[in-house]
Amino acid sequence: MALLRFLLFSFFCTLFVYQCHGACAEVDSDTEAVAGKGFKLGCISCKRRSEVRGEASVEWYFRPKGEADFFLMYTYNEDGPTIESDQFVDRVDWNGSKRSRDIQDASIYLLNVTFNDSGTYRCFFNRILSYENYEYNDVVSKVVHLSVVGKATRGTASIVSEVMMYVSIIGLQLWLLIEMIYCYRKIAAAGEEALREAANAEYLAIASESKDNCAGVQVGE
Ligand SMILES: *[C@@H]1O[C@H](CO)[C@@H](O)[C@H](O)[C@H]1NC(C)=O
Ligand SMILES: *[C@@H]1O[C@H](CO)[C@@H](O)[C@H](O)[C@H]1NC(C)=O
Ligand SMILES: *[C@@H]1O[C@H](CO)[C@@H](O)[C@H](O)[C@H]1NC(C)=O
């Protein structure tokens, strides 16, 4: 029970930290989309020093599978989002940082994914960092290789990690159980010992008491 509570507790802590404003973690994007469904293309670039003021604009490029060149498909800057390619008209939503020019999450959401969307995506952060006396221009780019499938499949990594999770949970529970049994037996043994000692003490006490009595009687005689 305690273990379960502890696990839940750590789970919620993790969730909280993840959602907490200012915490930034560069999580890799998923790479497998299902045709006809939506898909979030993840792209996160954390500022190395979060206290430095920054502004960023974002560009997404796409290279269809089997082709040689990237083309611009989406931009997000001070003018807001723009879909730059006919292939993606009405099919891209911004899933990144909201209400801030200091973009660290530039993820986008593809609607109604088609097989033609498989290929390589590349996001660029054009970031201006404002230090006290100067500005620093930083360009970061990330790549996502997307494959589109007809039905969702599960990667081996996810299966392995699920199995590992069960193994570790069961292992921990067993360990807890063994520890409890061990402790219980130790306590029980200690209790018996104490009882025996108490009985001995009582016997001695009675013995000495009766001796005293005898002595008393003898004195009385
Ligand atoms: C991303 O955008 C899609 C479409 O607008 C929306 O359904 C989804 O909830 C968004 N996800 C996040 C994490 O913002
Ligand atoms: C996406 O698919 C749904 C259901 O199939 C359809 O109603 C919607 O119009 C499609 N949206 C776009 C932008 O193609
Ligand atoms: C995918 O691309 C092919 C070739 O460019 C085109 O004929 C087809 O209509 C496209 N399919 C979709 C769903 O956009």
The CATH number of whichever domain residue 121 belongs to comes to: 2.60.40.10
Predicted pLDDT of residue 221:
46
Last residue of a domain, one of 153, 173, 192: 153
Which residue, by CA, sits nearest to atom 9 of ligand 3?
116
Which residue, by CA, sits nearest to atom 14 of ligand 2?
112
Range of 147's domain? Answer: 24-153
- Rounded-to-integer distance, Cα 45 and Cα 77, Å: 16
Which residue, by CA, sits nearest to atom 5 of ligand 1?
93
Check whether residue 136 and residue 75 sit in a common domain: yes
Q: 34 lies in a domain?
A: yes
Q: 13 lies in a domain?
A: no
Check whether residue 28 and residue 93 sit in a common domain: yes
Last residue of a domain, one of 101, 127, 153: 153
**From ligand 1's centre to the CA of 93, what distance in Å?**
7
How many independent structural domains does the chain possess?
2
Check whether residue 174 and residue 99 sit in a common domain: no
Q: Quick one: tokens of 85? A: 């390619």
Check whether residue 187 and residue 103 sit in a common domain: no
Predicted pLDDT of residue 14:
54
Predicted pLDDT of residue 50:
82
Check whether residue 65 and residue 158 sit in a common domain: no
Check whether residue 170 and residue 90 sit in a common domain: no
Check whether residue 112 and residue 185 sit in a common domain: no
- Rounded-to-integer distance, Cα 77 and Cα 60, Å: 12
Predicted pLDDT of residue 2:
61
Predicted pLDDT of residue 76:
95
Check whether residue 159 and residue 87 sit in a common domain: no
Check whether residue 61 and residue 144 sit in a common domain: yes
**Residue 179, CB-side half-sphere exposure with 13 Å CA sphere:** 6
For ligand 3, whether the C-beta of 114 sits within 6 Å is yes
Q: pLDDT tens, position by position, for the chain (221 residues)? A: 565 665 665 655 555 545 545 578 899 998 989 999 999 999 999 988 888 899 999 999 999 999 999 999 999 998 899 999 999 999 999 999 988 889 999 999 999 999 999 999 999 999 999 988 999 999 999 999 999 988 877 777 888 999 999 999 999 999 999 999 999 999 999 988 888 888 888 777 777 766 665 554 454 44
Q: 59 lies in a domain?
A: yes
- DSSP-derived letter for residue 44 is B
Check whether residue 102 and residue 28 sit in a common domain: yes
For ligand 3, whether the C-beta of 116 sits within 6 Å is yes
Question: What backbone torsions phi and psi does residue 66 show, to the nearest 5 degrees?
Answer: 85, -5
Count of beta carbons in the 10 Å neighbourhood of residue 107: 20
Predicted pLDDT of residue 96:
92
Check whether residue 163 and residue 91 sit in a common domain: no
